[in-house]
Amino acid sequence: MTETTESAAAPQQRGGPVVRVIRFIGWTSIWLGLFLLGFVAHQLFVTTFFAQQNNAALEVQAEEYFEGAEITEVPYTTPGAPDVTDPGDVSLPTPTLLVESAPPEHDAFAIIRIPSIDRLKDGWAVVEGVKRSDLKNGAGHMPSTPLPGQPGNSVISGHRTTYGAPFHEFEELVPGDIIEVETGLGIHTYEVRETIIVRPTEIWVTEQRQGAWLTLTTCHPKFSSRQRLVVFAELVAGPNFKVING
Amino acid sequence: MIAKRMFNALPGPRTVQIVLAAIIVIIAFIALMFVYDWMGNSLLDSGGTIS
């Protein structure tokens, strides 16, 4: 009696081709759902957890770099201004620019602070380099551009939604907001002038400018790397401000 | 069920099977993290660089 019941139930449990297809789709959906759930958890929490841990260590590294940075003075002439370095002209002192030694690649050398943004009130370490591995731990300074506080256009990139998302609230920045970057020379204060959205290939935003500028770039919109949110800020105070602005 | 069948298919005595299973799980986990990392950089947030 029992054997008959079991043998009749076995094929029913295995099901026909339709049941098997439905079961396959069901299991695939469950595994896909778990995979995507894991992906979201990894991106939002795991990357941020490790980035915050690593960035705290990088801030310590940056502070050590501040103490050991080699600072030199170099003659500087504002583009377009008369050349006061002319040896024949002894009436005017030669303006000198403070220059720090180039930081080692991948190392933290600066701390960026934006008082109007909660995440960056206390600062976030900036490393030299914009490779994927560099940006996992801190914001990254584009090595082909001047260091913050120097004449030209210093470019720093950072994550918007993952790896600590240091630039998460960048859409809140408006002209007039203050950005501070601390380096071995001291604190360079910039003021936001403009915020724009461009394609990731628009490299003109990194081109050099007259005066001293800081360009911050991050992904846009949030949770997409389709575009870039770019913040242009101009130096308004700092160790080199008077020399650069005549 | 499938996991149990795969575990039983591993060679060697029980202890070796456990060690092998642990190694496979660790490798699979690391591979999964790499896949998540690549997906995140490609789809969600590449770090905001201009190039």
A143 DSSP assignment: T
Query: Given B36, B45, B47, which is nearest A39 (Cβ)?
Result: B36
What value of ipTM does the predicted structure carry? 0.84
Report the pLDDT value the prediction gives residue A2, as an integer from 0 to 100.
46
Q: Which of A24, A35, A225 to mutate to test the interface with B (most CBs of B within 10 A)?
A: A225
A223/B51 CB distance under 8 A = no
* Spatial distance between the Cα atoms of A239 and A244, rounded to a whole number of angstroms: 10
Q: Which of A50-83 are b and which e, b meaning 16 or more Cβ less than 10 Å from the residue's Cβ?
A: ebeebbeebbeebeebbeeeeeeeeebbeeeeee
Phi/psi of residue A77, nearest 5 degrees: -120, 125
Residue A96, number of CB atoms within 10 A of its CB = 14
Q: Tens digit of pLDDT for each residue in A43-91?
A: 999 999 999 999 999 999 999 999 988 999 998 877 665 555 555 555 6
A225/B46 CB distance under 8 A = yes
Query: Given B32, B36, B45, which is nearest A225 (Cβ)?
Result: B45
Instruction: Using a CB–CB cutoff of 8 Å, tell me whether A77 touches chain B.
Output: no
Domain annotation for chain A: domains and CATH numbers? 31-244 (2.40.260.10)
* Spatial distance between the Cα atoms of A123 and A136, rounded to a whole number of angstroms: 16
Report the pLDDT value the prediction gives residue A1, as an integer from 0 to 100.
44
Domain boundaries, chain B: 2-39
B46/A224 CB distance under 8 A = no
Q: Tens digit of pLDDT for each residue in B1-51?
A: 788 899 999 999 999 999 999 999 999 999 999 999 999 998 899 999 998
Residues of chain A with pLDDT under 70: 1-14, 79-92
* Spatial distance between the Cα atoms of A184 and A108, rounded to a whole number of angstroms: 11
* Spatial distance between the Cα atoms of A104 and B9, rounded to a whole number of angstroms: 51
pTM: 0.85
Strand, coil or helix: what is A71? Answer: strand
Closest chain A residue to the Cα of B45, Cα to Cα: A225
Nearest Cα of chain A lies from the Cα of B17 at a distance, in angstroms, of 25
How open is the CA angle A32-A36-A38, to the nearest 5 degrees?
Answer: 115
CB A156 within 8 A of CB A142: yes
